[in-house]
Structure 1
């Protein structure tokens, strides 16, 4: 569902600039793949030579009629966390709040800073679904462009990697009045605490009761599965 491309800058492009090459590449991508949006990541080289990525993206968007989002984080600006932060700010500026979901529920949440690198979300999502908690947007693991567009309608932001995108959660609280909590999915205690805190923050007594019941059931099942290993 996501593809990456490069403009393959050569020596002449470094000397004379790569803006025309980038513009042409964006138009070609639109024609060949029909994406919902195009995200353009600046590299160290284009930052050093001063290419105006913002201007190219604006001109290309007007030409092809879909969003072309500049992410000005050359080489992801040193640390991964700093680059992710600038990526989050690009989403806030160009994507979040640009569409509305078909419907909302009192139990809509966003997961921010969750990248599903090892597929861990595939184990967490069923637990939330059992409680009737809907993940409105995932930023950015398994994300879809249109989901992120209506992330501003969530009732709660759940931060999983706070260092990287905490600024995004704070700004969404300022702009859209969405509270946030900082949680972890790793380990039994953290997972149980996360479920309890989500239920408490959503403010539904029935949900809190169902959460305690689910935790008891899942913990019992896990203890049974681990019993043969603990006996060794």
Structure 2
């Protein structure tokens, strides 16, 4: 059974989420960030639901610590509705977020999407995709460019994998998002743009230029 770690200091919310998640998942709980990090280190959950407003240490600090060692999906719960703040969370490593108060059915759907995205990729005949001097390993999630190698987070890997499978196609942003995230594109432009930006930055760091992923104005993105 897949394990979900719920780091939430409001006991009523924790009890509610535990009740709705426990029929399908093993739910681990923590009332503060310190305990949450302890449970994370001991249990290695498949998904973390993280409240931002925690006692002792903030949710942002918990997220930062987790990202030093793991790419486990993190779904953030926040009362903050600022776009600037939520974009900053995604840049810091959050995979998704929900603002409070949230709909239980939506939370369950987002949990399913994140857990589905961590499922192993089906075996394929070729384990490496190539384009120009890019090599993407489907088994290690590593990208190699000009003999420099880097391991990519799940979403960035899936975006690049999709682009490499058909390098001459222009992908609409909605098509990219819905294929990778498995959910409607509504209000998701910032999320996709952050991941594309991070991917460009990493390619630039490996090669000294960011020529590979370009935006086609009004259409989408493609490889060059």
TM range (shorter): 0.3 to 0.5
- Structure with greater proportional helix content: 1
Name the structure, 1 or 2, with higher relative contact order (CA <8 Å, separation 6+).
1
TM-score (norm 2): 0.36
Larger of the two Rg values belongs to structure:
1
